Amino acid sequence: MTTQEAIKLWKELSITECIMEFSCGGDSMNDYSFQFFNGNKKVESPELDSFFEDEVFKQVEFYVNSDGHYIGEAGEVHIELDDSDEEEHTFTYSKSAQAEFSERFSSYGELKLTKKEVEFIKENILNINGGDGEINVNFKRDFILSDEDDVLLEKLKNKIDDFAVNLEIEGEGDGDASDWYSFTTSDEDDDEISTLKVDDEHLHLRVSREFYVYRDSE
């Protein structure tokens, strides 16, 4: 079907607007569909549906390539017939969509410790890091864990993980939190695990979490 044939059929069916609903991301176009309207009444037209399935991708740019930060976009394309020029009628395309991003925010927190936990950490541990239920403990000296030490360490690991899961992250705005999180005992602003900071009562932790943030697409 040519554009002129599509315009002719559009007029014959008295269509006022076509709305394409779509979502894309993950390096591909995902779900999309076309709905035709005569005012508030839906109009069926397989021929126009087939025409716009090809034509809309020539006229509108969709951002399908995800990169870890940009996830994808979803929204609508409004298609109308511009007949303001008596000699040449054309279809117009207007995209209205929200782009989804994955952004990382971090906050510092102080985990309350027992006296035994403080002593054990100061004497034995170089740093602690992990996330998603996994915890890595790096020791600063070689020694044999006693049964008592083993019980204390397991309780401490669970305590740290619970703290990381429940710590309120500052700066995430209205974003939706993902399940991913990580933590480190480093007090640096980068991802290098360098120093462990523990005082007489607290272990200092930096917790990071991914948030899904939405912005208007171009």
If one counts the domains in the chain, the total is 2
Residues near 77 by Cβ (< 8 Å), separated by ≥ 6?
Answer: 19, 20, 22, 56, 60, 93, 94, 95, 96
The residue with greater pLDDT, 77 or 108, is 77
Residue range of the domain that includes 13: 3-88
CA atoms within 13 A on the CB side of 215: 11
Classify residue 95: in a domain, yes or no.
no
109 with 203, same domain: the answer is yes
48 with 126, same domain: the answer is no
Mean pLDDT of 108-122: 94
Q: Of 64-68, 95-99, 171-175, 206-210, which one has max mean pLDDT?
A: 95-99
Classify residue 93: in a domain, yes or no.
no
114 with 207, same domain: the answer is yes
- Assign 175 a pLDDT band (cuts: 50, 70, 90): low
- Assign 194 a pLDDT band (cuts: 50, 70, 90): low
Question: What's the token pair of residue 210?
Answer: 């991914």
Q: Where are the alpha helices (DSSP H) in the chain?
A: 3-12, 46-59, 115-124, 147-166
7 with 58, same domain: the answer is yes
147 with 207, same domain: the answer is yes
91 forms beta bridges with 81
SS3 helix, strand, coil % of the chain, rounded to 5?
25, 45, 30
Classify residue 71: in a domain, yes or no.
yes
94 forms beta bridges with 78
Tell me, what DSSP letter sits at residue 198? B
Classify residue 94: in a domain, yes or no.
no
Q: pLDDT per residue over 43-60, tens digit each?
A: 999 999 999 999 999 999
82 with 175, same domain: the answer is no
117 with 78, same domain: the answer is no
Nearest to 110 by CA among 55, 167, 65, 72: 167
68 with 20, same domain: the answer is yes
Classify residue 99: in a domain, yes or no.
no
186 with 117, same domain: the answer is yes
pTM (2 decimals)? Answer: 0.69
164 with 197, same domain: the answer is yes
78 with 111, same domain: the answer is no
Classify residue 172: in a domain, yes or no.
yes
Mean pLDDT of 181-186: 86
Classify residue 193: in a domain, yes or no.
yes
Average pLDDT score over the chain: 90
